[in-house]
Amino acid sequence: MPPVAAHLVCAEENALLAELRSNGEQMRYDPELRVSNARRASLGAFASQMLKYGPGRGQVIARQPRGVRPAYLAPSLLLLYLALMLLLLGVGVPMVAATAPASLYAILVLGTAA
């Protein structure tokens, strides 16, 4: 795998950890190690970070495709499912059945975020 590149939009730490793992490096707990994580000052700054995270994660996956996990694909699969259900609503599929998986996913995401 090429060195962690400066062109990554976001998720550089994920690329670094994936590279260390693929090189067989061991991760250890060290109570002396401190990590600082600055919180975003506003909702707009947080939204901007989230908009960069998707492309950044895509760049990391492109660098090391075997790092793809099914959970990364869940939002895209839900969008495809909703598109299909919107088409099927016209043929009598109840709205509750069409939106149940996406609603459950939204509830889980909001619960985790809280």
Q: Provide the angle, in degrees to the nearest 10, between the axes of the packed helices 43-63 and 12-22.
A: 30
Residues 91 and 51 both lie in one domain: no
Residues 82 and 54 both lie in one domain: no
- Tokens matching residue 86: 């919107």
Residues 24 and 58 both lie in one domain: yes
Q: H helices of the chain, where?
A: 12-22, 43-63, 70-89, 95-113
Residues 62 and 17 both lie in one domain: yes
Range of the domain at 5: 1-68
Taking the model in full, what pTM does it have?
0.46
pLDDT digits (tens, 9 = 90+) for 10-39: 777 778 887 888 888 888 888 888 877 777
Residues 4 and 35 both lie in one domain: yes
pLDDT digits (tens, 9 = 90+) for 88-107: 777 777 777 777 877 888 88
Residues 43 and 98 both lie in one domain: no
Residues 34 and 59 both lie in one domain: yes
